[in-house]
Structure 1
Amino acid sequence: MLSARLSGVSCGRKPRIWATHTSWTTVGDGEFFCPGCGGDRNYQRRTGRRRFTLFGVPLLARGPAGPVVECAACHDHFAPEVLDHPTTARFAGMLRDAVHTVALAVLAAGGTGSRTAVDSAVSAVRAAGYEDCTAEGLIALIAALEADTGRFPGSVDPHAGAGAAGASLAIELHEALEPLTPHLAPAGRESVLLQGARIALADGAYTPAEREVLATVGNALRLCSEETVRLLESARAPF
């Protein structure tokens, strides 16, 4: 038996006499975005125990290993923090909801009386993934939100700023945008703000209330105030 284990010597290879072996135990599973595969995959969350082996026979415990996240497709191991990155499907949903919330907030701040602005909002929301969005649906939703303890400031004079409703509106926008922001490239964050800006500009110049809403959007997207102002001005140019 020993001669069989050492037969690699005759082929010019050194026999593997000792090594460290890890025995893995699965403690959970799910779906994640695999940075190795570059797509959504199933995973197993695993913990392990390392052992010193001699000729493949485990002898001495060397302590715990992991936890790790193992991809079911490529079998690479990653730190548990990889699960903080949303799956492709989850990311698409977060982006869709963010654009929808920004569109509602800008429309509510400027008023829903402009069909041009409403149509611009509908186009943005449809492009984000809500393909069945309609002008009537957006207007009805804003009316319902206004009635829900003033969550959106549609009843406020659009030329006077968001006023007391501003704090509630800021909460809505931060809740929709802050979970998404860390996963957006700078160009992606700018794009979300510019979509809101173009809705506001669809029926003319920014009103104070619209500027206040868009400043809140920029803050939630972690854009500095100077960058937000620059982007709002750039949105005035033809595109």
Structure 2
Amino acid sequence: MTWVAGVRTVWRVVEDGEFYCPGCGGDRCYQRLEGRRRLTVLGVPLLPRGTAVPVVECSFCRNRFTLQTLGAPTTVRLSLMLRDAVQTIALAVLAAGGTESRAAREAAVDSVRTGGHPDCTEERLLTLLAVVSAEGREALENELRAALTPLAPHLATVGRETLLRDAARIALADGRYLAAESAALAEIGTALALAPTDTERLLTEAGQGV
């Protein structure tokens, strides 16, 4: 008789949900698995051999990934984060430069519409700005960091730079940067994890010819 022994992992499902699957390149359902390792003889599990590292299994491609994979937002979630970031940036720039300029207001509305709020109007944007501004400058700065800091790690450099350029476009709609606008744009660059030298370069390039 030939005795065949080995170590086998018995998995159990502890959670399920939706995630961004690196294997499929899109949003998929997943199962989070925890496993216990056992010594088996002829396929029969006998002695325990500890626990296995938990994994995430894609329900579509069946590939398994580390739990860190769940930290990446789904494409739907990322789209919502980006939409909120664009709106918050527009509010921050308007708050810094003032709302007296029609050109600046129109540029901000256009940015928010393009960013994912097609029904945005000037009245709606100004109402949001009034609500946020009523809580003070610090509240707006906190809103900006809350919207941009979690988003930045999931955007390529070109995406983060595009957001800053769009912010600069709003600030420049009525002429050169005001001091408060420059400060707000620098803060946006920091929240987007751009180096200060890169932020300065991008803002200089955007302001050329104004």
Q: Give the TM bin, normalised by the shorter chain.
A: over 0.9
* Per-residue CA distance 1:31-55 (angstroms, 9 max, x = gap): 1001111110111111011122232
Q: Taking structure 2 as the reference length, what is the TM-score of the superposition?
A: 0.93
What TM-score comes out, normalization by structure 1 length?
Answer: 0.82
Per mean C-alpha deviation after superposition, the further-off stretch among 224-233 and 83-92 is 224-233
The residue that corresponds to 2:93 in the other structure is: 106
3-state SS of the aligned residue for 1:170?
helix
> 1-side partners of 2:182 and 2:113: how far apart?
23
Identity of aligned residues (%): 54
Q: CA RMSD in A?
A: 1.7
Does 1:133 pair with 2:120?
yes
Alignment of 1:1-239 (within 5 A): 17-146=4-133, 148-150=134-136, 165=137, 167-237=138-208
Give distance in 1, aligned partners of 2:129 and 2:107.
Answer: 15
- Counterpart of 1:66, as a letter, is V
Residue 117 of structure 2 aligns to a residue whose secondary structure is coil
Structure 2 gap ranges (5+): none
Question: Partner of 2:52: helix, strand, or coil?
Answer: strand
In the alignment, which residue of structure 2 is the partner of 1:158? none
Q: Distance in 1 between matches of 2:5 and 2:109?
A: 66
Higher Rg:
1
| Structure 1: distance between partners of 2:140 and 2:76 | 27
- SS in structure 1 at match of 2:207: coil
Question: Which structure 1 segments of 5+ residues have no match?
Answer: 7-15, 151-164
Measured in 2, the distance between the counterparts of 1:237 and 1:38 equals 39
In the alignment, the residues of structure 2 paired with residue 220 and residue 173 of structure 1 have an alpha-carbon distance, to the nearest angstrom, of 8
CA–CA distance in 1 between the matches of 2:157 and 2:56?
28
